[in-house]
Chain A
């Protein structure tokens, strides 16, 4: 499985994590995800995910006029979003521990 496929499932958590630090608009979120090492993340996926989390009530949004271009929609995390983030963290830790143990074992066995 390549990294972008793994990422697709984990994107909700990643986007919530980024917005929990600071309110951000679409491109901000993308930059911060990429800055954190998720270079494979696609722009369309990030913008679509933001929209979906907003529709689900995990994010709130407000418009900020921009000097040089169209107004930007900033997203901030809601209480519901924080709950979802906490759940995502738990699930991810369990998953990564289990998979980590499994994959490490597999790598060592042939040696």
Chain B
């Protein structure tokens, strides 16, 4: 078979068609193309229009040829197919997305993606700076919203300019689509936090420590003081570093009241003692205290 008179553009067109059919058995593909080649050459002679304009993209031509011949659709990544780089695959996918009638409705949604793309860029920056709108003030939130709106407008402008579809743009788009997941997640959880915060602010803004005295998180209900000799002291009055009385508990009708000379109730006198219900008697003045902590051997301090 002579191919000497095949025009260059037809040759190139056919080589793309051939590559597109590379997952078919060699014999099958050669038979199919042996049929097509002379016909395309002849039809090219009958027309001045470039071959790709008359026949459409070579990939579509190959797919239509295959479908009409009753052959299975192209198996991507089939054995024997040449290895294709990621960018090329993405570009292929993009080309399919950009030209196939099946994805027409998706293309109609492109402006929506442009807006989302712009917002995602700002959201991603915010995420990387580890700052959430919730933490900042209203002014900061406004700035972020403004930046997002600006980015959306710029993104739409870029989309409308319809730049040449190349691998890099496809990669950037795919990366932004992936970045949309954490950004949206962050936005959603931040939204929840904002709602939660607003709901709580009116009631209890900060977690208050429990009332009373606590030792390592557990409430202290009573205190027992012993002197050097290991004797339990009664009515020891305790004060804090600022001179304030260390008062514990409240006025309980059964609590034995300890009063100062002026008649003031001393709620800082320990141990706190309780009367037997209905009487004015403390049944056991040593109740609840450790039996005997023992005497001290260190020499006493003299004031």
Are A69 and B35 in touch, CB under 8 angstroms?
A: no
Known contacts A27-B43, A51-B31, A51-B69: does B38 contact A72 (CB below 8 Å)? yes
Binds B, one of A41-49, A89-97, A102-110: A41-49
A80: interface (CB < 8 Å): no
When the two chains form their complex, are residues A51 and B39 in contact, meaning their CB atoms are under 8 A apart?
no
Interchain CA distance A46-B56 in the complex, whole Å = 15
Instruction: Report the bound CA distance from A11 to B67 in whole Å.
Output: 13
Whether B55 lies near A44 (C-beta < 8 A) is: yes
From A11, which residue of chain B is reached at the shortest CB distance? B68
- Docked-complex contact B38 and A25, CB < 8 angstroms: yes
Interface members, chain B 9-39 (any A CB < 8 Å):
31-32, 34-39
Chain A residue numbers with a CB within 8 Å of B1 are 70-71
Asked if A43 and B2 sit within 8 Å, CB to CB, the answer is no
Instruction: Find the A residue at minimum CB distance from B4.
Output: A69
Report the interface size for chain B: residues with CB under 8 A from the other chain. Answer: 30
**Is B41 close to A, CB under 8 A?**
yes
Please pick, from A27, A51, A55, A70, the residue contacting B2 in the complex, using a CB distance under 8 A.
A70
* Residues A78-93 near B (CB distance < 8 A): none
Tell me if A51 and B38 are in contact (CB < 8 A).
Answer: no
Answer yes or no: A21 CB below 8 A from chain B CBs. Answer: no
A residues within 8 A CB of B3? 69-70
Chain B residues within an 8 Å CB radius of A11 = 68
Interface residue ranges of B40-60 to A (CB < 8 Å): 40-43, 55-56, 60
Asked if A48 and B38 make an inter-chain contact with CB atoms under 8 angstroms apart, the answer reads no
**Interface size class of chain A, counting residues whose CB lies under 8 Å from the partner chain:** 20 to 34
Is the C-beta of B66 less than 8 angstroms from some C-beta in chain A? yes
A39 in contact (CB, < 8 A): no
CB distance from A57 to the nearest CB of B (A): 13
Cβ–Cβ contact A69 & B2, under 8 A: yes
Measured CB to CB, the closest approach of chain B to A46, in angstroms, equals 7
Shortest beta-carbon distance, A95 to chain B, in Å?
A: 21
Cα separation A48 to B64 with both chains bound (whole Å):
8
- Main SS of the interface on chain B? helix
Whether A43 and B70, one on each chain, are in contact in the complex, defined by CB atoms closer than 8 angstroms, is no
Q: How far is the CA of A82 from the CA of B108 in the complex (A)?
A: 47
B32 — which chain A residues lie within 8 A by C-beta? 47-48, 51
Report if B61 contacts A (CB, 8 A): yes
Q: How far is the CA of A27 from the CA of B46 in the complex (A)?
A: 11
Q: How far is the CA of A66 from the CA of B20 in the complex (A)?
A: 27
The closest CB in chain A to the CB of B58 belongs to A44
**Which residue of B35, B37, B38 is within 8 Å of A50 (Cβ)?**
B35
CB distance from A66 to the nearest CB of B (A): 7
**Residues on the B chain within 8 Å of A25, using CB:** 38-39
> Does B65 sit within 8 A of A, measured CB to CB?
yes
Given A27-B43, A69-B6, the answer on whether A45 and B68 have CB atoms closer than 8 Å is yes
**Known: A27-B43, A70-B1. Is A48-B34 also a contact (CB below 8 A)?**
no
Is there an interface contact between A73 and B69, defined as CB atoms closer than 8 Å?
A: no
- For window 45-79 of A, CB contacts with B under 8 Å fall at 45-52, 55, 66, 68-73
Does B5 sit within 8 A of A, measured CB to CB?
Answer: yes
A57 to B41, CA, bound (A): 27
Asked if A69 and B64 sit within 8 Å, CB to CB, the answer is no
Q: A66-B38, A73-B35 are in contact. Are A48 and B65 (CB under 8 A)?
A: yes
CB of B6 within 8 A of CB of A26, answer no
Contact of B35 with A26 in the complex, beta carbons under 8 Å? yes
What is the CB-to-nearest-CB distance from A71 to chain B, in angstroms, rounded to a whole number? 5
- The answer to whether A55 and B70 have CB atoms under 8 Å apart is yes
Closest to A26 in B: B39
Residue A14 at the B interface, CB < 8 A? no
* A-B pairs, 10 with minimum CB distance: A48-B68, A26-B39, A44-B64, A48-B69, A27-B39, A44-B65, A52-B70, A51-B69, A27-B42, A45-B68
